[in-house]
Amino acid sequence: MSFLFAAPDMLTDAARNLASVGSTISAANTAAAASTAGVLAPAADQISAAVAAILSQHGSAYQALSAQAAAFHAEFVRALGGAGGTYAAAEAVAASGLAAAQQDVEQEVLAAINAPTELLLGRPLIGNGADGTAASPNGRPGGLLFGNGGTGYSATAPGVAGGTGGAAGLVGSGGAGGTGGANAAGGAGGRGGWLWGTNGPAGLSALASGTVPLQMNGVFATVGVSVNGGPSVPLTVDTGSNGLLIPFWDIGLRQLGLPTQLGFVSYGEGVGFIYLNFNAPVNFGNGLLTAPTPVSVEILELPLSLNGLGLMLTGNVFAGGDGILGIGSNAVGPASSVVTALQGPLNQGVLIDEPGRYLQFGPNPLPGITVTGAPVTAFDVQINGGPLQQVLALVDSGGNQGSIPSSILETGQTSGPLPAGTTISVYTDGALTPLYSYTTTETNSPQVLSGQMNTGFMPFAQGPVYISYSPTGVGTMTFDF
């Protein structure tokens, strides 16, 4: 059996070259037209007349032959060019057929490979996960061995959250979360591969504000938080510090990346913590998910006092929580507040409503009295109706019963708890606008110290307090009661 090989591009080039030859022939015929189309008039003798007749016959024959040759050449060029086009079209059809056949074979092979894991686990062994739809908004997971997670569905209806991105398996990137509808949260991004890959980005949120429940453990408030896809664990809400501190066993370890900082921090209860900072997303629930932001992962606890040792032995280092959620603006801590990594306007601030048992992220929803500095600010304080005295104060939700400077007392007391029955009234600095007041009891009284004032939990127990992160690094606090 013999085979004919045709190269359409070569046929096209040949036709193009022959066309140029045809142009050359036409130019030659035009140049010869003058000498072949007409012969000069002969002399009067018979011989000249006979020669002229012969030459005229040859010229006419040349003109006819050249016209036939030009027509044949043009037809040949057209045929050759048409053959090239025909072969090219035939090759395109054959190639598309082969590609379709190859794709069909690939699909059949993948289907055979993925069938067992699809049946048993509901996900393929190899291949990308399907994107979310209106009926099933969450992206499907990628292949166990290789494949990216599907993209979450972007909602269009108001109040409908975006779908979550699908997770990758061993190798692959997580799917992107879908965009939320009006006044709805975006979906969380899918987890990246165990061996290689990146986490999918969270979907855009259209939330103007968002709330999460608070739990009270005595005088301390806790809120559930998930770090880097780990379990949701209670963290103690602390306005007196900055940054999130959490033990390493409470975070998701996949795609955590490399640490950015090694440090040491103590919160004043007699326990020190050695930590590593990582960039990781923080999820408060209800669609309130931050972009990757610095979080501090505790790797070792150290007792700094007998009180601290006692707290470590009783497992009460974080006052009922698994870690610390420091949400101050001008406080100190291992990192900045993770609230600022929420999507705007959720990152403007946070309302702590302990009587109402919730946190609300976003702009301040209530009217109130505002002071500059969050939590470090200046107050005028009055003890038992005495003179107003200016103090530097730390408005500290995690400060237990707090502390009072001995310098503003007229009793000479320098240590220990303030006696029960003492009335403490707090005003804005210089404006004499009352903020809050209370009378101490045997079980609720600040410690007398030589340093600055610490409000402890009392202002938060009386009503909502809002922390704003503007201006950056200073902030404001609004007493909304």
Q: What is the pLDDT of residues 57-74, one digit of tens each?
A: 655 655 665 666 566 556
**Are 161 and 260 in the same domain?**
no
2 in any annotated domain? no
What gap in Å lies between CA 3 and CA 353, rounded to an integer? 86
CATH number of the domain within which 299 lies: 2.40.70.10
Q: What are the CA-CA distances from residue 189 to residues 147, 185, 290, 398 (Å)? A: 15, 12, 11, 32
| pLDDT tops 80 at residue 412 | yes
> Is residue 8 reached through a cis peptide bond, with omega within 30 degrees of 0 on the bond before it?
no
Q: Predicted confidence band at 291 (pLDDT cuts at 50, 70, 90)?
A: confident
CATH number of the domain within which 17 lies: 1.10.287.850
Cβ neighbours of 394 (radius 10 Å): 22
Q: Which of the following is catalytic: 131, 238, 380, 396?
A: 238
Count of structural domains within the chain: 4
Q: Where are the alpha helices (DSSP H) in 38-153?
A: 46-121
215 in any annotated domain? no
Cβ contacts of residue 430 below 8 Å, gap of 6+? 380
Mean pLDDT of 191-210: 80
Cβ neighbours of 418 (radius 10 Å): 21
pLDDT confidence of residue 2 = 41
Range of the domain at 162: 123-206
Q: Which of 18-22, 395-399, 419-423, 440-444 has the weakest average pLDDT? A: 18-22
Residue 101 in tokens:
């056949």
Q: Over the range 93-130, which residues count as b (16 or more CB within 10 Å of their CB) and which as e?
A: eeeeeeeeeeeeeeeeeeeebbeebeeeeebbbbbbbb
**Are 66 and 136 in the same domain?**
no
Contact 436, 291 (CB under 8 A): no
Among 395, 352, 332, 363, which Cα is nearest to 223's? 352
Q: Predicted confidence band at 76 (pLDDT cuts at 50, 70, 90)?
A: low
Q: Pick the most confident of 13-22, 247-256, 460-469.
A: 460-469
Burial class of residue 264 in the structure, from the number of CB atoms within 10 Å of its CB (0-12 exposed, 13-18 middle, 19+ buried): exposed
Q: Which residue bears the tokens 């007392």?
A: 409
Among 252, 305, 259, which Cα is nearest to 278's? 259
307 in any annotated domain? yes
What gap in Å lies between CA 396 and CA 238, rounded to an integer? 7
| pLDDT tops 80 at residue 82 | no
Last residue of a domain, one of 361, 389, 421: 361
Q: Predicted confidence band at 218 (pLDDT cuts at 50, 70, 90)?
A: very high
pTM, entire model: 0.69
Could you give the 3-state DSSP secondary structure of residue 177?
A: coil
pLDDT confidence of residue 364 = 97
The pairs formed by 12-18 with CB atoms below 8 angstroms and a separation of 24 or more are 12/81, 12/84, 12/85, 12/88, 14/80, 15/77, 15/80, 15/81, 15/84, 18/73, 18/76, 18/77, 18/80
Last residue of a domain, one of 65, 80, 108: 108
Last residue of a domain, one of 173, 206, 239: 206
Max distance between CA atoms of the chain, in angstroms, equals 159
pLDDT tens for 254-288 read 778 889 999 999 998 899 999 999 999 999 988 89
pLDDT confidence of residue 109 = 72
Q: Predicted confidence band at 90 (pLDDT cuts at 50, 70, 90)?
A: low
Could you give the 3-state DSSP secondary structure of residue 421?
A: coil
Pairing of strands 220-227, 282-283: antiparallel
pLDDT confidence of residue 286 = 85
**Are 326 and 374 in the same domain?**
no
**Are 271 and 338 in the same domain?**
yes
Q: Which residue bears the tokens 């990192």?
A: 335
324 in any annotated domain? yes
Q: Predicted confidence band at 189 (pLDDT cuts at 50, 70, 90)?
A: confident
**Are 247 and 315 in the same domain?**
yes
322 is catalytic: no
Q: Predicted confidence band at 250 (pLDDT cuts at 50, 70, 90)?
A: very high
pLDDT confidence of residue 52 = 54
117 in any annotated domain? no
220 in any annotated domain? no
What gap in Å lies between CA 477 and CA 395, rounded to an integer? 9
Q: Predicted confidence band at 79 (pLDDT cuts at 50, 70, 90)?
A: low
- First vs last Cα of the chain: how many Å apart? 97
pLDDT confidence of residue 50 = 57
- pLDDT above 70 coverage of the chain, percent: 78
Mean pLDDT of 118-136: 87
**Are 38 and 143 in the same domain?**
no
174 in any annotated domain? yes
Among 198, 162, 175, 195, which Cα is nearest to 292's? 198
**Are 335 and 229 in the same domain?**
yes
**Are 427 and 469 in the same domain?**
yes
> Is residue 375 reached through a cis peptide bond, with omega within 30 degrees of 0 on the bond before it?
yes
Q: Over the range 221-234, which residues count as b (16 or more CB within 10 Å of their CB) and which as e?
A: bbbbbbbbbbeebb
Radius of gyration (C-alpha) of the chain in whole angstroms: 42
Laid out side by side, the sheet with 369-372 consists of 210-213, 358-361, 349-353, 465-468, 476-479, 369-372
**Are 235 and 156 in the same domain?**
no
The pairs formed by 61-69 with CB atoms below 8 angstroms and a separation of 24 or more are 62/32, 62/36, 63/33, 63/36, 63/37, 66/25, 66/29, 66/32, 69/25
pLDDT confidence of residue 3 = 42
Q: Which residue has the higher pLDDT, 13 or 223?
A: 223
Helix 46-121 × helix 8-37 angle, to 10°:
170
118 in any annotated domain? no
Residue 168: half-sphere exposure toward Cβ, Cα within 13 Å = 24
**Are 20 and 61 in the same domain?**
yes
pLDDT confidence of residue 99 = 56
Mean pLDDT of 341-359: 95
Residue 19 in tokens:
């066309």
pLDDT confidence of residue 215 = 96
| pLDDT tops 70 at residue 431 | yes
Give, as one character, the DSSP assignment of residue 330.
Answer: S
What gap in Å lies between CA 290 and CA 288, rounded to an integer? 7
Q: Predicted confidence band at 198 (pLDDT cuts at 50, 70, 90)?
A: confident
| pLDDT tops 70 at residue 78 | no
**Are 26 and 75 in the same domain?**
yes
**Are 103 and 165 in the same domain?**
no
Residue 293 in tokens:
């932001």
